[in-house]
Amino acid sequence: MRLSIYAGAEASSSVGRYARELAESFPAGVSATVVQASKPPGLRGAVSKYVAYPLLARRCQRDFSIIASEANSFLLLALNARRTIIVCHDVHPLMFDIGGLLYRWRFRLLLRLMSRAKHIVTVSRHSKEELLRYCPYLSPEKIVPLYNGVAGRWRKIEDDNTLRRWREAHNLGGKRILLHVGNDMEHKNVVALLRALALLPDPDLVLAKIGDIGPRNRQVIEQLGLGSRVRQFSRLSDEELVCFYNLADALVFPSLREGFGWPPLEAMACGCAVVASTAVAEICGDACLYADAAKPASIAGAITRVLAEPALRQQLTARGKLQAARFSWPATAAAMLQLLQS
């Protein structure tokens, strides 16, 4: 069997990663090829996305197709929809202030196009519920939750010298490290994490923010006097991120909503304790310490417990390793094959 997996134009995005890791996980006898779009700047980019990419998709169509994101559902107009699965990660543009009115109108249209596919895969049961809430015209029977996998590169580093050198290289010697991995969009709730950090006045407790920090939160950092306690890192390789997960005392993930939520599971696989909101309860189970995302004091209290209670931290890391191991790319790929052949 031959599969084409369409990942859009962002090779480095979570969608591109989803497509690559899924493609690598099918069993012997299944050939899966990731079809990437180009992304030139300006108007040429729009032409490439909505004209050139569908033409490329049609040329690369094989026995079956998987569209790796709802953002590329327009490809269903070019492909054999009856032999195509589309993956919907979330409906956050309809829930938060992401883009303008035109962007949200276009997103609604893209969601409606998904009805043409053989099946719609969501990355969690919660994602399915939210999709149906905003798109009641979709058939519930057509929507199938299939969890993402967690790749083997997320692991505990046993070499203390490697971690010591990494700590020194990033001027983190003697610091206790809280970690946040993700963008700075509203639903990531970074502002609550910053306010929680301000409630913990230990100057040796720092936040390593992996990803961008927008103007609003930069202003919050300045207002709260956190300039020396927030360290931003971006464009890290996966191996560099593995080092941060291993160095951190805790990953803090206070999202208001998540479709799936990779960082908590990555942290768990690396032996890092996790403080999170209930937005990832379906994914994290009993392997993290939950806090109220709307209350910085609750987040600060959970952080304090993880830092101050070694027995709790040990319990969370042990449960976390077991929880992360539950999420298997080969299992997801096998379930995809069953859907395609059904």
Q: Which helix (H) or strand (E) holds 6?
A: strand 2-8
Residue 307 has a pLDDT of 97
Residue 48 is classified by DSSP as I
Q: Which residues of 42-53 are buried (b: 16+ CB within 10 A; e: fewer)?
A: eeeeeebbeeeb
Q: Comparing 2-149+328-341 with 160-325, is the CATH topology the same?
A: yes
Listing DSSP states for 198-220 in one string gives HTS--TTEEEEEES---HHHHHH
Residue 290 has a pLDDT of 98
Residue 12 has a pLDDT of 54
| Ranges of the chain whose pLDDT falls below 50 | none
Helix (H, G, I), strand (E, B) or coil at 86: strand
Q: Which residues of 248-259 are buried (b: 16+ CB within 10 A; e: fewer)?
A: bbbbbbbbbbbb
Residue 41 has a pLDDT of 67
Provide the β-strand partners of residue 8: 36
What residue spans define the domains of the chain? 2-149+328-341, 160-325
Q: Tell me how far apart the alpha carbons of residues 265 and 327 are, in angstroms, rounded to a whole number.
A: 9
pLDDT tens per residue across span 134-184: 999 999 999 999 999 999 999 999 999 999 999 999 999 889 999 999 999
Assign domain 2-149+328-341 one CATH number from 3.40.50.2000, 3.20.20.80, 3.40.50.300, 3.50.50.60.
3.40.50.2000
Residue 13 has a pLDDT of 78
Q: So what's the architecture of 160-325 in CATH? A: 3-Layer(aba) Sandwich (3.40)
Helix (H, G, I), strand (E, B) or coil at 123: coil
Could you give phi then psi for residue 121, rounded to 5 degrees? Answer: -100, 130
pTM: 0.93
Could you give phi then psi for residue 120, rounded to 5 degrees? Answer: -115, 120
Residue 43 has a pLDDT of 66
Residue 100 has a pLDDT of 81
